[in-house]
Structures are given as C-alpha cells and as structure tokens.
Amino acid sequence: MSRSLPIWIGASDDTPAPPRVRVRVFERCDGKCTQCGRKLRPGEAWTLEHLIALINGGRNAEDNLGVTCGWCLPAKNAVDVALKAKTYAVKSKHLLPSEPSRWGSRPLGRGNHQHTATRPPLKRTYAQEHEEQDI
C-alpha cells in the first residue's frame, strides 16, 4: 500500500517545483503531454507547466502542474497570453472610466435643416413669409 503524500504548494509564485514533485507529476501524467496526449520518449525535452497559468489565476501547486512537450509549449503560452489579454480588456472596460472623445464633438443644435440633398435650399424674403400667413 502506497503512502499518502500531501500535495506540494509553492511558498510563492516564483518558487520552482523540487525534483521529487517533477517526478510525481510526470508519473501522474503517465509520461504524456497534457496538450497533445503524445507519449514522451526518453531524453526528449519537456516542461513542467501550470495547467492554469499563474497570470490567469492558477496557483503554484502540484495539482495545477502538468507535462508539456517542446512542440506544444509555444502554442500553450500563446493561448495563455491571449486569454490574459482578453480578460484584462473585459475587466478594464467595466472597471476603468472611459476617456472623453478626442474629436471634441459637440451636440447638434436644433435649427432649420434641409432634409433633402436633391433640391437647393429655399431662400425666402420677409415679404414672402408674411404673404403666406395672410392667405
């Protein structure tokens, strides 16, 4: 019967996992990449990677670690950074005040506007305006 071990939790986000934890995670993953599922060969480069990245709220603990092969590492890092950027954009849209427009637009006033562009504007004299009212 195997002895039960407590999971390793890093003292800080910068604390690297000790070799014994690397071995336990590799055995837990059965020597397969957590991204593509490919079995890693002896001597092949692999990385102990956070399943949920620290920048996206993951914790530096043994249960959040997995094995990633050298082929999948750049793609996983790109996905993590894109997710962080999207999360930041959504949060900042809701939390940060919006900036005023740089165009300096002003509200439109009420006035005599011509509603059609196919005919020239009507120019009426004072006499013409008062002639219509008398009729």
Q: Is the dihedral of CA 23, 25, 27, 30 positive or negative?
A: negative
Greater pLDDT, 9 or 102: 9
Which whole-number Å values give the CA distances from 117 to 103, 114, 120, 122, 125, in the listed order? 26, 7, 7, 12, 22
pLDDT band at 115 (very low <50, low <70, confident <90, very high): low
Average pLDDT rounded to a whole number, residues 30-34:
94
Let me know how long the chain is: 135
> Topology of domain 19-95, per CATH?
DNA Binding (I), subunit A (1.10.30)
Average pLDDT rounded to a whole number, residues 35-39:
94
Q: Which pair of tokens denotes residue 99?
A: 């900036």
> Is the predicted pLDDT of residue 116 greater than 90, yes or no?
no
